[in-house]
């Protein structure tokens, strides 16, 4: 009953022309694909052009981050209302690369998630443990800490969290490494996240919120991952830069429902 959601996170790749070429391919080849929601997250400078090119399609445009203040003296930042103004419908917050290289804390992620929701956008909130944390048996404790802060205030935004909130479980050791969590490893964490969502937001919202898996998702492993009961799609990095690979993942998500 949850429509799987597959989002391509292009990270710092593709200029405007390259972004438009890729979305034009996706738009043409995914037009007839039903039963799965699709999004792409280009760099900020391509956001508006991509959103324009995708107008009237079922493919959503997503930002890769959003600052929590709407306006002000914050040189270099882009806020959620401006992302909406550019035509995007979603924003990713809390990606592990933001946490690792740009100092984003779970508290920041919580503020970003609220600003995104208040701007009328959907929020894709990323959480995930490092390898040392998994090896130390701390995976679920880390997930609990990150999730608690990231969604602490989302209920106060009064938006429809069932459709606007997405959690992405991305084990840091699986991102860009070619090393994927097994379907069973991912399912264990996804089921845990859903239990925590039920405690914090209530069972009806927890049942409806999509929980994406991310970390080296490829055409060869997507179907087995998304077939797990609590894995509702994927946040795809490297493989989303190639139209054929991304389309194969989207189709795998659809067929596994
Ligand atoms: P990857 O990245 O698919 O290249 O591992 C996933 C992500 O960072 O969202």
Q: What is the pLDDT of residues 127-164, one digit of tens each?
A: 999 999 999 999 999 999 999 999 999 999 999 999 99
Nearest CA to ligand 1 atom 6: 237
Report the nearest atom of ligand 1 relative to the CA of 214. Answer: 6
What domain count does the chain have?
A: 1
> What confidence score (pLDDT) does residue 257 get?
45
Which of 14-18, 113-117, 161-165, 172-176 shows the lowest per-residue confidence on average (mean pLDDT)? 172-176
Nearest residue (by CA) to ligand 1, atom 9, is 237
CB atoms closer than 10 angstroms to residue 6: 28
pLDDT of residue 97: 97
To test ligand 1's pocket by mutation, which of 236, 241, 242, 245 has the most ligand atoms within 8 angstroms of CB?
Answer: 236
* CATH code for the domain of 213: 3.20.20.70
Measured by CA distance, the residue closest to atom 7 of ligand 1 is 237
- For the cut 70, the answer to whether the pLDDT of residue 55 exceeds it is yes
Question: Taking the CA of residue 122 as centre, how many other CA atoms within 13 Å lie in the half-sphere pointing to its CB?
Answer: 23
In a domain, 149, yes or no: yes
| Residues of the chain above pLDDT 70, percent | 99
Residue 29 belongs to a domain: no
| Angle at alpha carbon of residue 149, lines to 147 and 153, rounded to 5° | 110
pLDDT above 60: residue 41: yes
Is pLDDT above 90 for 105? yes
The answer as to whether 50 is a domain residue is no
Reduced DSSP (H G I as helix, E B as strand, rest coil) percent helix, strand, coil of the chain, to 5: 50, 15, 35
pLDDT tens-digit readout, 209-226: 999 999 999 999 999 999
Is residue 191 in a domain?
A: yes
103 in a structural domain: yes
What residue has token string 């493989």? 239
Listed in sequence order, the residues at least 6 apart from 106 whose beta carbon sits closer than 8 Å to its beta carbon are: 94, 145, 146, 148, 149, 150
CB-based contact 40:50 (threshold 8 Å): yes
Six-digit token pair at 185? 């490893």
179, pLDDT greater than 90: no
Largest alpha-carbon pair distance within the chain? 48
> What is the residue range of 103's domain?
5-13+58-239
pLDDT higher than 70, residue 256:
no
This prediction's pTM: 0.97
**Measuring from each residue's beta carbon to the nearest atom of ligand 1, which residues come in under 6 Å?**
9, 170, 175-176, 214-217, 235-239
The residues annotated with a catalytic role in the active site are 95, 170
Both structure tokens of 206: 């927890």
**pLDDT of 1:** 82
Band the pLDDT of 255: cuts 50, 70, 90: low
The C-alpha atoms of residue 64 and residue 147 are separated, in whole angstroms, by 19
Average pLDDT over residues 23-31: 96
Residue 247 lies in a domain: no
The whole-number pLDDT of residue 143 equals 98
217 part of a folded domain: yes
């Amino acid at each position: 009953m949850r429509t799987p959601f597959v989002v391509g996170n292009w990270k710092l790749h593709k200029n405007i022309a390259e972004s438009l070429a890729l979305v034009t391919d996706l738009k043409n080849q995914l037009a007839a694909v039903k039963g799965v929601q699709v999004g792409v997250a280009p760099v900020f400078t391509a956001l508006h052009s991509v959103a324009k090119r995708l107008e009237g399609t079922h493919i959503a445009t997503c930002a890769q981050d959003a600052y929590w203040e709407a306006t002000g003296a914050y040189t270099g930042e882009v806020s959620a209302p401006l992302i909406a103004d550019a035509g995007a419908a979603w924003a990713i917050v809390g990606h592990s690369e933001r946490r690792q290289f740009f100092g984003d804390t779970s508290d920041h992620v919580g503020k970003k998630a609220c600003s995104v929701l208040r701007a009328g956008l959907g929020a894709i909130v990323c959480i995930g443990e490092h390898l040392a944390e998994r090896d130390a048996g701390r995976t679920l404790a880390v997930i609990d800490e990150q999730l608690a802060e990231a969604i602490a205030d989302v209920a106060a935004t009064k938006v429809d969290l069932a459709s606007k909130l997405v959690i992405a479980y991305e084990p840091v050791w699986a991102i860009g490494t070619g090393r994927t969590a097994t379907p069973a490893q991912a399912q264990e964490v996804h089921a845990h996240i859903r239990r925590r969502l039920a405690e914090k937001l209530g069972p009806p919202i927890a049942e409806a919120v999509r929980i994406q898996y991310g970390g080296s998702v490829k055409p060869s492993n997507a179907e087995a991952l998304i077939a797990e009961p609590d894995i509702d799609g994927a946040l795809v990095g490297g493989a989303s830069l190639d139209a054929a690979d991304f389309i194969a993942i989207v189709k795998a998500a659809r067929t596994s429902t």
